[in-house]
Amino acid sequence: MTAGSSIAGLHAVFRRELGSYFTTPLAFVFLAAFAFAAPAFAFNVGRFFDTNRADLAPLFAYLPWLLMILMPALAMRAWAEERDRGTIETLLSLPVPVWAASLGKFLAAWVVAGLALALTFPMWIAVNYLGAPDNMAIAAGYLGAFLLAGAYLAIGQALSATTGNQVVAFVLGVLAAFLLTMAGSPFVTGALSSAVPAWLVEAIAHLSALERFSAFQSGVIGVKDLVYFLSFIAGGTAAAGLLIGASRAGGR
């Protein structure tokens, strides 16, 4: 009964969330923006044609930057909107465990992110038409991008649970995604090295999402990298659930 009712709750929340993305212009605007921006980056900034290579490297090189902005935009409403509209009262009075509600919300947003990535498939077809790319590497790259999007989303939804203001949730989400992506870059390590011990700088550099993502791009699907992304997804979703569960203790 308990497991069954948790699944019923997860399913109900997932359906409601996915429905709300598509009954409002949100998902369509988001998908259109993604479908436009991803190739635009690849063609103009990534010089898709000038590389004279049949692969999707120009696309994947800029995806983290695009996802860093767009995933927090998709995640910001998750809990902030519930708090703002008061519907969190209804949600928390239903016999649904918070983890199920949190996971339902995450999965719905992840499906929309997956659809957005799917909209770049014409580029995959194009490179196959133009040459003979390593399709396994491209598939791995897509898997990496999907996992990266999931990590950004989960963190964004956890931050959305801290506030009733969607703009605040968005800004925090972008900031967190930026730090996660740039953790290994000289920009961040340089800034940190004067303030914190070297081992900590190294540990933070180790968290860099960009390096993990580039492993996928070269067609390598490592267990460690999978665990890395999945733990951010699990951690973010659990944190959102814990934060919302904690609101039972007091406040709105």
Partner 1 sequence: MLTVEKLVKRFGPRVAADTVSFSLQPGEVLGFLGPNGAGKSTTMRMIAGRLEPDSGRVLVGKHDVATERRAAQRLIGYLPEGAPAYPSMTPRSFVEFCLRARGWSGREMALASAEALDRARLGDAAGQRIATLSKGYKRRAALAAAIAHDPLLLILDEPTDGLDPNQKDQVRALIRDMAADKAIIVSTHILEEVPAVCSRTIVIDKGRILADESPEEMAARTRTGRLDDAFRALTQTVPAEADAA
Phi-psi region of 55 (alpha: psi -120 to 50; beta: other; left: phi over 0): beta
Instruction: Out of 44, 90, 128, 231, name the contact with partner 1 by CB under 8 A.
Output: 90
Contact window for partner 1 (CB under 8 A) among 12-20, 123-131, 137-145, 217-225: 12-20
CA atoms lying within 13 Å on the CB side of residue 64: 22
CA distance 45 to 77: 30
Q: How far is the CB of 78 from partner 1 (least distance, A)?
A: 13
CA distance 244 to 85: 15
Query: Closest Cα partner for 124 from 45, 29, 38, 65?
Result: 38
Instruction: Out of 54, 61, 92, 205, name the contact with partner 1 by CB under 8 A.
Output: 92
Q: Does 29 bind partner 1 (CB under 8 A)?
A: no
DSSP-derived secondary structure letter, 133: -
Instruction: Return the structure tokens found at 224.
Output: 């460690």
x-or-dash string of contact with partner 1, 99-138, rule CB under 8 A: ----------------------------------------
Query: Closest Cα partner for 37 from 69, 74, 6, 73?
Result: 69
Closer of 22 and 36 to partner 1 (Cβ) = 22
Neighbours of 204 (CB within 10 A): 16
x-or-dash string of contact with partner 1, 47-86, rule CB under 8 A: --------------------------------------xx
Q: How far is the CB of 108 from partner 1 (least distance, A)?
A: 13
Instruction: Out of 50, 95, 195, 223, name the contact with partner 1 by CB under 8 A.
Output: 95
Q: Does 3 bind partner 1 (CB under 8 A)?
A: no
CB 161 within 8 A of CB 82: no
Q: Does 5 bind partner 1 (CB under 8 A)?
A: yes
CA distance 229 to 148: 7
Q: Does 235 bind partner 1 (CB under 8 A)?
A: no
Per-residue burial over 152-164, b if 16 or more Cβ lie within 10 Å, else e, is bbbbbbbbbbbbb
Q: Does 87 bind partner 1 (CB under 8 A)?
A: yes
Closer of 13 and 117 to partner 1 (Cβ) = 13
Q: Does 8 bind partner 1 (CB under 8 A)?
A: yes
Q: How far is the CB of 72 from partner 1 (least distance, A)?
A: 20
CA angle 68, 234, 98 (to 5 degrees): 110
Residues that bind partner 1 (CB under 8 A): 2, 4-5, 8-9, 11-13, 15-16, 19-20, 23-24, 85-87, 89-90, 92-97, 248-251
